[in-house]
Structure 1
Amino acid sequence: MSSRSRLWRVAELPTTRAGVERAFSYFIAGVRIGTLAQMIPAVHAGVTTSPHGIAYAVCWAAAALASVAVSVATLVRRRPLGAAVSALDYTLACLLLLLGPLVLVPGERFGTWVAYQPGYALSVIITAGGVRSVALWAGGMFGIAACYLVYLGGAFSGEMISTAVGNILTFVVYALVARMFFGYTRRIAHDADTSRARAAELARREEERRAQVMMHNGVAVMRMLTEPGTDAARSRLLDLAEVEVQRMRSYLRGRPPDRDGDGSDTALAAIIERACERFADLPVETLLDLGAGVRLSAGDAEAVERALDSLLLNVRAHARADGVVVHLDQGPDGGWTLTVRDDGVGFDPAAVTPGVGLREVVVGELRRRGLDVDVESAVDSGTTVTISCHARSAACGDHDAVRDAA
């Protein structure tokens, strides 16, 4: 189906402000053409019975032409009429009501489409509810109601007073309902557009955060490779760089970095050993026996490994530590705690803003996965980072709890 033909299918219109305005144009055209269709069968009788047949025909033709013109204009514009054209539309409806007593016999002013003027005026009131000027909308509504009183004149008996009052109230009520319909629908469209823009911005920020998380360690390794060092140190950096290159390639190829849904899990102790081997140049001591039974899902394992790499990179680049202790412990309730402590230069958390590595790769990413992260440091007293998981949490490897929650 062509894009042009899709424009005429309301169900396929976008739920945006532009789409809503387009739907309004369909609504306006439908009301105006529908009113014209009701006027057509009675035109011959109106010309025949009118005391001024030619004048009746001219007035009827003006109403018909205006209905067609408004319908075409709104469909072409893809939105309701502007203030200037709406003012002309109101004016014509008022003029037709004022001329009605001249072209109609008194007995035909109620309950017949020969007297098309009130029905035409009602269609104008309904479709002009989309005009943005409140003053124009209110003035047009009350103007039509006043002209309708002139249209009635003294041509109805006391028994018809209730009908006349009911018709005037119909003008007012339909005007209010139409105004509410146009206004509320526009508000929904505006909120939808705002929500989409907000979602797009949040998605952009999240993608930016993911890029920072995925690229940070690799960039840090590449920066170290540009610095002077021994061949042995550069060889160890190259091994670490290869790991980070693989991660960045996976990210750039569009593969989600965290594959939580593959059903596999990994021993946390093995992950820690693998990460520490890449930093063999550091004085790292691993104490993992107490947490040998801890297992993590693939996604959690990858996040913890990235975080540990980032922590050890910080130690290598900044800490000037004589010793690093990595300790893993599992409690009797299934929870576990991973502690990374160095005796380096440390820093003052109150005076130093954490970098991307500590803020996003370690604290931000792990907390998003339900892990607790605590950073303690002091100048000349080293740094301790504690990563912990409470029992009965998905990150603690309690898959039964996850299934129960589902």
Structure 2
Amino acid sequence: MRIRNGLRRVGDLPTTKAGVERAFSYFTAGVRLGTVAQMVPAVQLGAARSPHASAYVACWGAAALAAVAVSVVTLVRRRPPGTVVSVLDFALACALLVLGPLVLAPGDRFGTWVAFQPGYALSVVITAGGVRGLALWAGSLLGVAVCYLVYLGGEVGGDMISTAVGNVLTYVVYALVARMFFGYTRRIAHDADTSRARAAELARREEERRARVMMHNGVAVMRLLTEQSHGAPRSRLVDQAEVELRRMRSYLRGRGPDGRAGDDARAYDDGAGDEARAYDDGAGPSAGLVALVERSCDRFADLGVVALLDLGADLRIPAAQAEALERALDSLLLNVRTHARAHEVVVHLDGGEGWTLSVHDDGVGFDPASVTAGVGLREVVVGELRRRGLGVAIESAVGEGTTVTVRSRAGTETGPPAERDALADAS
């Protein structure tokens, strides 16, 4: 059970830099303690056959103690050995190889764990793959190879040459593989951390954008309520404030701009009643386009809105587009009330191929090329509608009013780019 819990704990490590380093510490401890476990069964035989039993036991004890110490340090620090520990580790491995011929019996340098020195050196080479410094790693590997040749001494001859060469190549190959393993895994963790940070930043920006979209119209209505300088009846402003209040509450409760809570698709509901909810042939939630436009126009009856909607009597649009379009219409009419000083506003709906909705006022207009876009037109109107797959074009000139055209196909926008993209909203 403990083993199973331990494996589960390793499998649950986060895919972050810290998580990867923690996994490396487990790997290092496993390799080093595993080497000690392989050394244990032969220690008694090695001491009995050694010409210097006490020296053999001392060397064996130093190797075992170092392996346990490195394992404990890595587990406590939650990362592989650092530069200082690695240098000491390599130095001990080289010393044990050099001292090997003195403490081993003739003929014991190959084939068994009585000669633990080469195996111990290999465990050091493998776990040192996590050392950051390339020069330190390469120099230490070279030192181990040279000391192994000293360890072989006069024992190499005949058939043993191939074994000796193979052992040296084992050091090199395992060192390279471990180095690539450590380096590539760290790179994956770095990319994962970077991606998470980028995703978090994008999510923060998107949430800020959503907040601006959801709060913009409400803030504009509240400003009109406090200023009362535009001639709009207070009762109508209160009605609009209630609509915006419902939208803001929906947002604060976790529902998206399209009225959805998470991934749960819901019928479009602007608080006007059950008649605002409908389903289009079972394909999903939708709303009547004419009813949507009429609701917005009714909230701004004091502007003298002329609504010509007969050509779109049977049109329905998806709930997400309906929510965004009604919010955009409210924002446009709020701009007219606040800035345009218009005598008449004409809202025209054409239900030909696709559909086209235009809002024209005969107010003061503006120069799209010289006026900076504000939150209202930039985000609530253009940004949100284009995100919902609708095309938006704005035409305006100083003294000639403004026309905003919304189309059901995003690729059919008209007008010069400067007129479409240089959108103004002094609010």
TM-score when scaled to structure 2?
0.88
Deviation at 1:232, TM superposition (A): 5.9
Equivalent residue in structure 2 for 1:279, among 292, 300, 305: 300
Q: 3-state DSSP class of the match of 2:155?
A: coil
Match of 2:362 in 1: 343
Q: Percent identity?
A: 74
Does residue 388 of structure 2 align to residue 372 of structure 1?
A: no
Q: How far, CA to CA, are the matches of 1:230 and 1:215 in structure 2? A: 21
User: Match of 2:313, as an amino acid?
Assistant: A
Q: 3-state DSSP class of the match of 2:336?
A: helix
Paired residues of 1:6 and 1:12 also in contact (CA < 8 A): no
Match of 2:405 in 1: 386
- Rate the CA distance shift 1:232–1:121 in 2: closer, same or farther, 3 A: closer
Match of 1:124 in 2: 124
- Rate the CA distance shift 1:70–1:8 in 2: closer, same or farther, 3 A: farther
The CA RMSD measured in Å over matched residues stands at 1.9
Q: 3-state DSSP class of the match of 2:306?
A: strand
Paired residues of 1:7 and 1:13 also in contact (CA < 8 A): no
Does residue 336 of structure 2 align to residue 323 of structure 1?
A: no
Q: How far, CA to CA, are the matches of 1:292 and 1:216 in structure 2? A: 30
Match of 2:417 in 1: none
Paired residues of 2:389 and 2:410 also in contact (CA < 8 A): no
Q: 3-state DSSP class of the match of 1:153?
A: helix
Per-residue CA deviation, residues 25-56 of structure 1 (Å, 9 max, x unaligned), is 11001100111111111111111111111100
Q: How far, CA to CA, are the matches of 1:69 and 1:151 in structure 2? A: 25
Per-residue CA deviation, residues 279-332 of structure 1 (Å, 9 max, x unaligned), is 01102111111111110122211110000000000111111112211111111x
Q: 3-state DSSP class of the match of 1:9?
A: helix
Deviation at 1:201, TM superposition (A): 0.8
Q: What aligned pairs does 1:103-142 form with structure 2 within 5 A after superposition?
A: 103-142=103-142
Q: How far, CA to CA, are the matches of 1:96 and 1:199 in structure 2? A: 51
Q: How far, CA to CA, are the matches of 2:104 and 2:328 in structure 1? A: 87
Q: How far, CA to CA, are the matches of 2:80 and 2:7 in structure 1? A: 16
Q: What aligned pairs does 1:261-300 form with structure 2 within 5 A after superposition?
A: 261-262=265-266, 263-300=284-321
Q: How far, CA to CA, are the matches of 1:253 and 1:6 in structure 2? A: 40
User: Match of 1:237, as an amino acid?
Assistant: L
User: Match of 2:196, as an amino acid?
Assistant: R
Deviation at 1:8, TM superposition (A): 7.2
Deviation at 1:153, TM superposition (A): 1.1
Q: 3-state DSSP class of the match of 2:24?
A: helix
- Rate the CA distance shift 1:295–1:8 in 2: closer, same or farther, 3 A: closer
TM-score when scaled to structure 1?
0.92
Per-residue CA deviation, residues 78-108 of structure 1 (Å, 9 max, x unaligned), is 1101100110001000000010011112311
Paired residues of 2:108 and 2:115 also in contact (CA < 8 A): yes
Deviation at 1:258, TM superposition (A): 1.4
Match of 1:400 in 2: none
Per-residue CA deviation, residues 225-251 of structure 1 (Å, 9 max, x unaligned), is 111348862221111111111111111
- Rate the CA distance shift 1:232–1:179 in 2: closer, same or farther, 3 A: closer
Aligned length: 388
Q: 3-state DSSP class of the match of 1:354?
A: coil
Q: How far, CA to CA, are the matches of 1:227 and 1:244 in structure 2? A: 18
Larger mean Cα displacement after TM superposition, 151-160 or 42-51 = 151-160
Q: What aligned pairs does 1:143-182 form with structure 2 within 5 A after superposition?
A: 143-182=143-182
Structure 2: gaps spanning 5 or more residues = 267-283, 412-427
Match of 1:403 in 2: none
Match of 1:97 in 2: 97
Q: How far, CA to CA, are the matches of 1:304 and 1:316 in structure 2? A: 18
Paired residues of 1:271 and 1:305 also in contact (CA < 8 A): yes
Q: How far, CA to CA, are the matches of 1:230 and 1:137 in structure 2? A: 77
